[in-house]
Structure 1
Amino acid sequence: MTIVTIFFCGTGSTKFDSSNENYWNGELVTTLASNHAGREFAEWAVINGPGTSNLQADELLTRTKDYGLSGTLFGKGWEENVQHALNLIKGKSDWQREQLTEAEYNRLKAAGIPIEDVKSEGSWFWRKYNYGDRSITQQKLQEQIIKTFRNGIIPTQVNLVGWSRGGISCHMLANAMFKDAELKNIPVNIFAIDPVPGIGNFQEHRVKLNPNVKEYVGIYARDERSKGFSCVIPQTATGTKTSILPMPGRHATLVGNAAGDGVSGPSVLTEPGRLVRHLAEACLRRWGTKLNKSLELTDADLLSLSAKMVEDATHYKAMEKHSYTYFTERDEGERYVSLGTKGVKFTTVQGPIYTPATGLATSVLDVQAYRQIL
Structure 2
Amino acid sequence: MTTLTVYFCGTGSTKFDATNTTYWNGELVSTLANHERGREFAEWAVIDGPGTSNLQADEMFYKSEEYGISGSLFGSGWEENVKHALQLIKGKTSWQRLELTKEEYDRLKAAGIPIEDVETVGSWFWRKYNYGERTVTQQALQEQIIKLFRKDGIIPTCVNLVGWSRGAVSCHMLANMMLNDPELKQVPVNIFAVDPVPGPMNFQPERVTLGANVKEYVGFFARDERSKGFSCVVPLTHSNTRTHVYPMAGRHGTLVGNASLKGTSGPKQLPEPGLIVRHFAERCLTRWGVKLDKMLNLTTADLQNHHNAISQADAHYVLMRQESYTYFTEQEQGERYVSHGSNGTAFSSVQGAPLQPTAGLGAKLTFEQSSYLDIR
Alignment TM class, shorter chain as reference: over 0.9
Shift of 1:358: 0.5
Is the 2:303–2:367 Cα contact (8 Å) retained in structure 1?
no
Per-residue deviation, residues 215-235 of structure 1 (Å, max 9, x unmatched):
000100000000000000000
Following superposition of structure 1 onto structure 2, how do residues 1-374 of structure 1 map, counting pairs within 5 Å?
1-151=1-151, 152-367=153-368, 368-374=370-376
Amino acid at match of 2:83: Q
Mapped to 2, the partners of 1:366 and 1:209 lie a distance apart of 30
**Partner amino acid for 2:325?**
Y
In structure 2, the residue corresponding to 1:333 is in which secondary structure?
coil
Contact 2:187–2:213 (CA under 8 A) maintained in structure 1: yes
Task: Report the secondary structure of 2:372's partner residue.
Answer: helix
Deviations 1:179-209 (A, max 9, x none): 0000000000000000000000000000000
The Cα shift of 1:122 comes to: 2.1
**CA offsets, 1:316-340, max 9 Å, x none?**
0000000000000011210010000
CA distance in 2 between partners of 1:31 and 1:62 (Å): 25
Cα offset, 1:163, TM superposition? 0.1
3-state secondary structure, aligned to 1:64: coil
Output the amino acid matched with 1:311: Q
Report deviation, 1:127. Answer: 1.6
Residue aligned with 1:364, SS: coil
Alpha-carbon distance, 1:121 to partner: 1.3
Superimposed CA distance per residue, residues 50-104 of structure 1 (whole angstroms, 9 cap, x where no aligned partner): 0001111011111101100000000000000000000000000000100111122
The secondary structure found in structure 2 opposite 1:244 is strand
Unmatched runs of 5 consecutive residues or more in structure 1: none
Aligned mates of 2:123, 2:212 — CA distance in 1: 57
More deviation, 67-76/360-369: 360-369
Structure 1: distance between partners of 2:134 and 2:158: 34
Amino acid of the residue matched to residue 264 of structure 2? Answer: V
Task: Look up the equivalent residue of 2:14 and give its one-letter code.
Answer: T
Opposite residue 373 of structure 1, the aligned amino acid is: I
Structure 1 residue ranges, 4+ long, deviating more than 4 angstroms after superposition: none
- Give the aligned residue type for 1:135: T
Letter matched to residue 374 of structure 2: Q
Mean Cα displacement is larger for which, 4-13 or 115-124?
A: 115-124
Distance 1:352 1:66 in 2: 42
How far does residue 123 in structure 1 lie from its aligned partner after superposition?
Answer: 2.0
Tell me which moved more, 92-101 or 114-123.
114-123
CA distance in 1, matches of 2:214, 2:8: 17
Partners of 1:231 and 1:76 lie apart in 2 by 18
Deviation at 1:9, TM superposition (A): 0.2
The one-letter code of the counterpart of 1:72 is S
Tell me the distance in 1 between the aligned counterparts of 2:374 and 2:325: 33
What is the TM-score when the length of structure 1 is the normalising length? 0.99
Displacement, 1:177? 0.2
Alignment partner of 2:371: what SS?
helix
Residues in 1 aligned to 2:296 and 2:264: alpha-carbon distance in whole angstroms: 24
- More displaced 10-residue stretch of structure 1: 112-121 or 45-54: 112-121
